Amino acid sequence: EDVPDASGVVGEEIVQLLSVHGALPLGRIAREIRISMKRLEPHVAELERAGTVSTETHAARDGKKLRVVALAVPASVAISGGGSAGRRAG
């Protein structure tokens, strides 16, 4: 089942794609990971709630709105689920 989860497979694919290409429109993300916009949007919303990505709406050339998604944190932190903060050596 395709339940939106910031740490799930689709979430990881989105983060990986953004870490390689930088900010991308929702439509490009959907094409790259081969899912529908309808399935993509809840995953992006969950990643945004988790603080992993941010979205901005821009005016496209044709007058429509273009939603662009970008990583909100460095990709290495987003992929690993956190940095070394809070870990003790030993």
Model pTM score: 0.73
pLDDT, tens digit, for every residue of 75-90? 555 455 554 444 444 4
More confident residue, 31 or 63: 31
Which candidate, 73, 36, 38, places its Cα nearest to that of 52? 73
Q: What pLDDT does 15 receive?
A: 95
Residues 73 and 58: their CA atoms lie apart, in Å, by: 21
Residues 57 and 68: their CA atoms lie apart, in Å, by: 6
Minimum mean pLDDT among 30-34, 40-44, 80-84: which range?
80-84
Which candidate, 65, 40, 38, places its Cα nearest to that of 53? 40
The per-residue pLDDT of the chain, averaged, comes to 83
Residues 58 and 81: their CA atoms lie apart, in Å, by: 29
SS3 state at 10: helix
pLDDT, tens digit, for every residue of 12-31? 999 999 999 999 999 999 99
